[in-house]
Amino acid sequence: MSDFEFKNNVMHAEQVPLPALAEHYGTPLFVYAKATIERNWRLFTEHLPPPHRVCYAVKANSNLAVLQTLARLGAGFDVVSGGEIARVLKAGGKAERIVFSGVAKSDLEIEEALQAGIGQFNVESVTELEQISRIAVNKGVTAPVSLRVNPDVDAKTHPYIATGLERNKFGIAMADALPAYELAQRLPGLTIVGVDCHIGSQLTELQPFLDAMDRMLALISELAERNIFIKHLDMGGGLGVRYQGETPPPVGDYIQALLFKLEQYREQTGRELALYLEPGRAIVANAGILLTRVQSIKANKIKHFVMVDAGMNDLLRPSLYQAWHNIVNVENKLGVAVQGDIVGPVCETGDFLGQDRTLIAEAGDLLAVHGAGAYGFAMSSNYNSRPRPAEVLVSGEQHFVVRARETREDLWRTETLLP
C-alpha cells in the first residue's frame, strides 16, 4: 500500500496534491507521508512485542519530525554518532531505548552517552571495550555493552553496504569473539547485555539473515559454557525494500523466521533470548519522495537528457550506488515520450537521478522520485554551493515544513573572510 497515489490524474501525498506542495514550498523538495512511516513501524512491532525490541536506524532519515513520529510510537533508536543521540533526545526519544552502534566512537561521544543513560553500546573492537571501561570507571558508572560480532556471511548486496564480511571495517571477527567477551567480563565498569551483528543493507533474501543467526546462536551457547549469559540477540537491520522489482520477504515472514530459530534455541537450551532489530530503510524509504522540476530537454545524436533542478547533492544514491529509483511525472498526461537520462545541474558526469528512462515530460513538468525517504536528505550536501532542499511532512490534508530550505547565506554561515 502506498500513500503516494494518483487521484484525478494527479499524484497526491496522502490527501495533498503534489503540485500544490511544489507551488507552496518550491523544488527540489522532499515530501514524507506520516501514515506510511507509522504503518511501516507497526508492521515490525506487531510481530515483536516486549521483551523483543525494534530500534529505528536513525542514519536512514534523521529529521526531527520523523524521529518524533516514531518516538510517540514508543520506538527504540539505533544511532551511530553523538549527534544522532542528541537528535533522538531532542525529538522526545527515551535514552534507555538508544543503542549506540558505529565505529570510532570518540571519548566525548561515549561520555555524553553515559551521561544520558543510553540503553547499550554496540562495541566494535577490543580497543573500544577498553575505552568504554576507562571512561565508565572515571565517571563512576557502569556501561551496558553488546559486542558486534562479524559472522562473515555474504549478504549478496552492493559492496558499499555489505557489512558482515571479514574484509569490512565493522565488528569483531567470530574467531576473536570469545576472548573479547571474556575481556569484557573482566574489565571494570562494564556489564554484558547482548550479542550484536549486522550483515548489510537492502537484503532481499531471508537465508543470509538465518545463516548469520545460526552462527550468533552458536556463539551465545559457547559463551554460556563460560558462564557469560546473554539477555538479547541484536540481529541489526538490513531488510530491503522494493525499488525496481526486488522481492524482499514480508516483514512478518522475516520476523517469524527469526523468532522460530529463537524458539528452537529455547527448547534446546532452556534459555530465553529477546530479539532486537534495527530497521531503517524498511521504515522510511517508501514514505518519502523527491519532487523536482524539469528545466529543459536536451538532445544530441546519441540520447536525450531531461534536465531537472535536483542533483546528486540532493539524492546521492544513484551516483554512489548505481541505485535505481522509480521516476514519474506527477500528472498523467498525453504527449510524446522521451527516452534518455534524467540529470541535474551539478558539474559532474555522475550527476544523474535515472538513466535510460522513458517518460512523458517537458519543461516545467514536475517529477516524483520514489523511494527517497531513506538515505535521501540524510546523505545530501552543499556540493557546487547548492542550498539543500526543504523537507515537508504530510498528514492527511495537512502539511508541515519540517526543515526549511537552506538559503545562500546558510552556505557560508560558519565561514569567515580574512581580515
Residue 307 reports pLDDT greater than 70: yes
My answer on whether 259 and 384 are in the same domain is no
Residue 345 reports pLDDT greater than 70: yes
Please say whether the beta carbons of 150 and 164 come within 8 A: yes
Is 47 within the bounds of a domain? no
Residue 211 reports pLDDT greater than 50: yes
My answer on whether 339 and 375 are in the same domain is yes
My answer on whether 199 and 326 are in the same domain is no
Measured between its terminal Cα atoms, the distance across the chain in Å is 58
Can 55 be counted among the known catalytic residues? Answer: no
Q: What are phi and psi of 7, to 5 degrees?
A: -135, 120
Amino acid 166: pLDDT: 55
pLDDT tens-digit series, residues 142-167: 999 999 999 877 655 444 444 444 55
Which of 347, 407, 408, 414 does the annotation list as catalytic? 347
Is 72 within the bounds of a domain? no
Please say whether the beta carbons of 330 and 354 come within 8 A: no
Containing domain of residue 312, as a range? Answer: 4-32+285-411
Q: At what angle do helices 82-90 and 64-71 cross, to 10 degrees?
A: 60
Is 418 within the bounds of a domain? no
Residue 201 reports pLDDT greater than 90: no
My answer on whether 344 and 267 are in the same domain is no
- Which ranges constitute the DSSP H helices of 270-399? 281-284, 317-321
Q: Domain containing 329 — which CATH number?
A: 2.40.37.10
Q: At what angle do helices 126-139 and 107-116 cross, to 10 degrees?
A: 50
Is 229 within the bounds of a domain? yes
Amino acid 98: pLDDT: 98
**Single-letter code of the amino acid located at 386:** R
Average pLDDT over residues 262-271: 95
**How do beta strands 337-343 and 304-308 pair?**
parallel
My answer on whether 249 and 300 are in the same domain is no
Return contacts of 165-169, CB within 8 angstroms, 24+ apart: 169/103
Amino acid 245: pLDDT: 86
Domain-terminating residue out of 254, 277, 300: 277
Q: What are phi and psi of 138, to 5 degrees?
A: -60, -30
Q: Domain containing 202 — which CATH number?
A: 3.20.20.10
My answer on whether 111 and 243 are in the same domain is yes
Whole-angstrom Cα distance, residue 257 to residue 279? 16
Nearest to 283 by CA among 61, 107, 6: 61
Neighbouring CB atoms inside 10 A of 20's CB total 13
My answer on whether 115 and 264 are in the same domain is yes
Average pLDDT over residues 402-416: 97
Please say whether the beta carbons of 72 and 93 come within 8 A: no
My answer on whether 263 and 292 are in the same domain is no
C-alpha cell at 223: 559463551
Domain-terminating residue out of 257, 277, 297: 277
My answer on whether 251 and 357 are in the same domain is no
Average pLDDT over residues 59-66: 98
Domain-terminating residue out of 240, 256, 277: 277
Amino acid 335: pLDDT: 86
pTM for this one?
0.94
Reported as half-sphere exposure (CB side, CA atoms, 13 A), residue 189 has a value of 17
pLDDT tens-digit series, residues 41-57: 999 999 999 999 999 99
Is 56 within the bounds of a domain? no
Which residues on neighbouring strands pair with residue 393, listed in sequence order? 32, 400
Is 387 within the bounds of a domain? yes
My answer on whether 141 and 21 are in the same domain is no
Nearest to 127 by CA among 194, 182, 184: 184
Amino acid 152: pLDDT: 79
My answer on whether 249 and 314 are in the same domain is no
Percent of the chain clearing pLDDT 90 (strictly above): 89
Q: Residues for the chain: how many in total?
A: 419
Average pLDDT over residues 123-142: 97
pLDDT band, residue 363 (cuts 50/70/90) = very high
My answer on whether 268 and 294 are in the same domain is no
pLDDT tens-digit series, residues 271-296: 999 999 999 999 999 999 999 999 99
Q: How many domains does the chain have?
A: 2
Residue 168 reports pLDDT greater than 80: no
Whole-angstrom Cα distance, residue 364 to residue 314? 19
C-alpha cell at 184: 569484557
